[in-house]
Amino acid sequence: MKKRKLKIAVTGLNAIDSPGPGISVIRALREAASFDVRIIGLSYESLEPGIYMHDLVDRTYSIPYPTAGIDTLLARLEYIHEKEKLDVIIPNFDAELYPFIKLETKLKAMGIHMFLPTLHQFEERQKVNLNEFGKKYNINVPRSKVIHDLSMVYSLQSEFSFPMIVKGKFYDASIAYSIEQVKSYYNKISAKWGLPIIIQEFIHGTEFNVTGLGDGKGNTIAAVPMRKQYITEKGKAWGGISISDEEMLDMTRKFLRTTKWRGGFELELMKNKDGELYMLEINPRLPAWIYLAVGVGQNIPEALVKLAMGEKVKPFTKYTVGKMFVRYSWDMIVDREEFEQISIYGEL
Amino acid sequence: MKLRKNVAVSEAGLLFNPVTGESYSVNPIGVEIINLLREEKSPEDISKFILGKFATDKATFEKDYHDFIGILEHHNLLDSHEETKA
């Protein structure tokens, strides 16, 4: 039987050393059992590798950075939609989610579907709100403090012991072993991502991640826990293995049940030496390692598209444990004309 | 003293703990001992089996056995933490 063909736009084509999830999401969509796809890449930079991966991405359009404003983004999406007649958009960056959430109703009216967390869910799980989030939903989180001013750094010693984590509001985290290091990371991270900075209690232990999908009604549609086996200098997983920790799955189900999370997500968890589990971060989108979930039997991007299209999705109930992913880098040979095309015309 | 039920052991001697995602390699004697632990053999039975199969003395085996069990315990691969004597 011939499958229907969906036109799906995907961001996060930056398959670099700190990779965006786009390419993994696209691989998952191309393996979807219930539909075929035409993939439209949405890029921010001309050297995002996905732009040139023509076997995965059918056509790419550049889009403006979120700082350009929602109206500029909408105008660009209207142009792309006119050309491509999009069915679904899957945004894959934390920083772009706010404008896409704001545009969800307008895009829906144009016939473009998304399946994103609500603005309330998106804001509530922000790093700056993690303490309150933990209290409200009775989820174990590390103690943290938001600082807006470098002078606040000196009072930290009475509240936190060293080492402590210095985090940016969107990205970046460093372990500081002295006040001098806290100050240095404060300056470095705030220069890149702005204020505030979050100081977090350091939990000694092993880091795990869970990716999954919530239906927005409290149900767990998918959940796959993973342990990073090979971590890059930027803290990204270059290799990992699926595991079967019931406690992590329980925490995930509780997170989805209590918040009624809508959309894909990645939980960053830490287990200390006493076996206590902490939720360090909630990333409101699918992770770059999402293809492992497909490899163990849960095609989460496919399920997300179906939910976006308003279709019923049966929750996944099992996955293969002990399956690994090993990432690799690959040099593509690209004609300069292609680079010119995307750089000057914003389309390829 | 039992190996955790969900710990997988390959013939080649690779142990995989599916809860933590950690893998360990053990040598052929380690595999023999793990298989005996799986069969819930007593430390005395394990001692008899190993001494009958390999050229070693009881004192050396007991020391190595305790070290090995200690490592398995340290990595949370055993169900019981009770003291065991070979």
Residue ranges per structural domain of chain A: 5-114+331-345, 143-201, 204-326
Cα–Cα distance measured from residue B65 to residue B59, given in angstroms and rounded to the nearest whole number? 10
* Residue A272 contacts B, CB cutoff 8 Å: no
The vertex-A67 CA angle with A64 and A70, nearest 5°, equals: 70
Least Cα separation, residue A271 to chain B (angstroms): 10
Q: Does residue B47 belong to any structural domain of this protein?
A: yes
Task: Write out pLDDT tens, residues A299-347.
Answer: 999 999 999 999 999 999 999 999 999 999 999 999 999 999 999 999 9
How many pairs of residues across A and B have Cβ atoms under 8 Å apart? 23
Q: Residues 6 or more apart from A149 whose CB is under 8 A from it?
A: none
Q: Does residue B12 belong to any structural domain of this protein?
A: yes
Residue B70: both structure tokens together: 């200690």
Cα–Cα distance measured from residue A260 to residue B24, given in angstroms and rounded to the nearest whole number? 39
First-residue to last-residue Cα distance in chain A? 32
Domain that holds residue B14: 8-74
- Looking at domain A5-114+331-345, its CATH class is alpha beta
Match domain A143-201 to its CATH number in 3.40.640.10, 1.20.1440.230, 3.40.50.2300, 3.30.1490.20. Answer: 3.30.1490.20
> Which of B5, B20, B23, B75 is the best residue to mutate to test the A interface, defined by the most A CB atoms within 10 Å of its own CB?
B20
pLDDT for the residue A310: 96
CB atoms within 10 A of CB A56: 18
Does the pLDDT at position B71 exceed 70?
A: yes
ipTM computed for the complex: 0.76
Q: Which residue's entry shows tokens 């930027």?
A: A234
* Residue B52 contacts A, CB cutoff 8 Å: no
Spans of chain A, pLDDT less than 70:
1
Say whether domain A204-326 belongs to CATH 3.10.20.30: no
Record: contact A227-B16, CB cut-off 8 A: no
3 state SS for chain A: CCCCEEEEEECCCCCCCCCCCHHHHHHHHHCCCCCEEEEEEEECCCCCHHHHCCCCCCEEEECCCHHHCHHHHHHHHHHHHHHHCCCEEECCCHHHHHHHHHHHHHHHHHCCECCCCCHHHHHHCCHHHHHHHHHHHCCCCCCEEEECCHHHHHHHHHCCCCCEEEECCCCCEEEECCHHHHHHHHHHHHHHHCCCEEEEECCCCEEEEEEEEEECCCCEEEEEEEEEEEECCCCCEEEEEECCCHHHHHHHHHHHHHHCCEEEEEEEEEECCCCCEEEEEEECCCCCCHHHHHHCCCCHHHHHHHHHCCCCCCCCCCCCCCCEEECCCCCCCCCHHHHHHHHHHCEC
Q: Residues 6 or more apart from A110 whose CB is under 8 A from it?
A: A78, A81
Q: Does residue B2 belong to any structural domain of this protein?
A: no
The vertex-B64 CA angle with B60 and B65, nearest 5°, equals: 115
Show residues of chain A in contact with B20, CB under 8 Å: 206, 227, 243, 245
Give the mean pLDDT of B54-82: 87
Show residues of chain B in contact with A321, CB under 8 Å: 18
pLDDT for the residue B83: 39
pLDDT for the residue B6: 87
Q: Which of A229, A245, A322 sits opposite B8 (nearest CB)?
A: A322
Q: Does residue B84 belong to any structural domain of this protein?
A: no
Record: contact A243-B16, CB cut-off 8 A: no
* Residue A273 contacts B, CB cutoff 8 Å: no
Q: Does residue B82 belong to any structural domain of this protein?
A: no
Greater model confidence, A144 or B83: A144
User: Do A147 and A196 form a contact (C-beta atoms < 8 A)?
Assistant: yes
pLDDT for the residue B82: 44
pLDDT for the residue B86: 37
Q: Does residue B36 belong to any structural domain of this protein?
A: yes
Number of domains chain B contains: 1
| Own/partner long-range contacts of A328-331 (Cβ < 8 Å, ≥24 apart) | A329/A17
Closest CA to A96 of A199, A13, A36, A152: A13
Record: contact B19-A241, CB cut-off 8 A: no
Task: Write out pLDDT tens, residues A186-230.
Answer: 999 998 888 899 999 999 999 999 999 999 999 999 999 999 999
Greater model confidence, A317 or B5: A317
* Residue B21 contacts A, CB cutoff 8 Å: yes
Q: Does residue B55 belong to any structural domain of this protein?
A: yes
* Residue A274 contacts B, CB cutoff 8 Å: no
Show residues of chain A in contact with B22, CB under 8 Å: 227
